[in-house]
Amino acid sequence: MPNPTKSDLHVSRPLTNISVLAVQDESEFIADKVFKNVPTDKENDKFFVYDPSDFNRDSMQIRADGAPSVGDGWNVDTDDFSCDVYALHHVVTDRRRANTDEPLNEDEDATRYLTHKAYLRREVDWVANFFTAGVWTGASADAYGSLSGTSYVPTTKFDNASGVPIKAIKSQLVLNKQITGFRCNTVVMGEQVWNAIQESADFLARITGGSVSQNPAIVTIDQFKAILGVDNVYIGGSIKNTAREGATASNAFLFGESMLLCYVPKTVGVRQPSCGYTFTLKQYGAAFGGQRIKKFRDERVAGDVIEIEMAYDMKVVTATMGVFMNDLLT
């Protein structure tokens, strides 16, 4: 007597309570966290820049009896910005939507996908504009390293057993204040650099206290901030796949083996110092990046177009207030 087989009794179908998406969390992106956002009504415009050297020059003189005081003044120049508009879309056709099995939802997936792509594009631009050699001019040679162009390169790499990352960073903080009058309050570094600093004897010696092998010292960003006397520390852990579609993924950290020391104001306003700003176009949304996402009908393809747009310009406004430290690891 024949018996039914498993395939007769059960037809395999996708589970509706699970799906797998192994993509980096959006919290890894830091382009919206470091420099302040400046919303603007126009794609391009200008802003005023004072010459700080005029304010730092000692001009007062002794006034003789009956003589007029010495006159003085300052110079004001202008700089400009121009927001580029980026866009990407995905089409969800009626036929494909009608034939999609649960728990897949192409409309929701498209929104997530496009948003992630926008965050990645913004992160790539942030690195290209702010986190690269030749942009910042606030570094100085010292006892722990030298200059390569305008970038600081330590004599002994941070991951070397004899490396002194804390001494090198603190030295640059002091030397840069001598140049600008401001102490950098923000540190940006790649994931690999932070990992090396956590293992550095120069760092651990400052926090070990009474730690023992059974209860080792726990290295935290708050401890790092306290040692350096800075307000903000950002770890750039985002990755980018450089392989073409269909090829084996080739992921690499965007922030590499570098570090940026910079000054960032608490708020945006007139007569405020800052290393940089991100100018964003208001019409594309008030959120950072001038970002908006929309959905509209396209009968030519019998489907809905889900489209994301963002408009911004990432601008260095005071190059001397940034110290770029490069080639930090072996």
Q: pLDDT by residue (tens digit) across 38-95? A: 999 999 999 999 999 999 999 999 999 999 999 999 999 999 999 999 999 999 999 9
Which pLDDT score, from 0 to 100, does residue 287 have? 62
Q: Give the integer Cα–Cα distance in Å for 199 and 6.
A: 56
Candidate from 17-21, 159-163, 215-219, 265-269 with smallest mean pLDDT: 215-219
Encoded amino acid at 47, one letter: F
Which pLDDT score, from 0 to 100, does residue 216 have? 58
Q: Give the integer Cα–Cα distance in Å for 19 and 227.
A: 44
Q: Give the integer Cα–Cα distance in Å for 279 and 203.
A: 37
Averaged pLDDT, 257-283:
94
Are 172 and 323 in contact by the 8 Å Cβ rule? The answer is yes
Residue with tokens 């002794």: 62
Query: Predicted confidence band at 315 (pLDDT cuts at 50, 70, 90)?
Result: very high
Residue with tokens 């730092």: 56
Cis peptide before 103 (omega within 30 of 0): yes
Task: Check pLDDT > 70 for residue 117.
Answer: yes
Choice between 255 and 216, residue whose per-residue pLDDT is larger:
255
Choice between 96 and 288, residue whose per-residue pLDDT is larger:
96
Averaged pLDDT, 179-203:
96
SS3 state of residue 24 = coil
Write down the domain spans for the chain. Answer: 25-48+76-325
Using alpha carbons, select from 262, 127, 122 the residue that is nearest to residue 190: 127
Percent of the chain with pLDDT over 90: 82
Q: Give the integer Cα–Cα distance in Å for 29 and 41.
A: 26
Which pLDDT score, from 0 to 100, does residue 51 have? 93
Using alpha carbons, select from 314, 311, 306 the residue that is nearest to residue 290: 311
All residues at 6 or more sequence positions from 116 whose CB lies less than 8 Å from its CB, including other chains? 23, 26
SS3 state of residue 90 = strand
SS3 state of residue 43 = coil
Using alpha carbons, select from 55, 43, 50 the residue that is nearest to residue 81: 43
Query: Predicted confidence band at 288 (pLDDT cuts at 50, 70, 90)?
Result: low
What is the pLDDT of the chain when averaged over all its residues?
A: 92
Using alpha carbons, select from 168, 206, 208 the residue that is nearest to residue 187: 168
Which pLDDT score, from 0 to 100, does residue 283 have? 85
Averaged pLDDT, 140-163:
97
Encoded amino acid at 201, one letter: A
Q: Could you name the CATH architecture of 25-48+76-325?
A: Alpha-Beta Complex (3.90)
Choice between 205 and 231, residue whose per-residue pLDDT is larger:
231
Averaged pLDDT, 174-182:
97
Residues across the chain: 330
H or E segment and range at residue 249: none
Which pLDDT score, from 0 to 100, does residue 290 have? 77
DSSP state of 322: E
Query: Predicted confidence band at 210 (pLDDT cuts at 50, 70, 90)?
Result: very low
Query: Predicted confidence band at 180 (pLDDT cuts at 50, 70, 90)?
Result: very high
Query: Predicted confidence band at 179 (pLDDT cuts at 50, 70, 90)?
Result: very high
Task: Check pLDDT > 70 for residue 259.
Answer: yes
Task: Check pLDDT > 50 for residue 15.
Answer: yes
Query: Predicted confidence band at 286 (pLDDT cuts at 50, 70, 90)?
Result: low
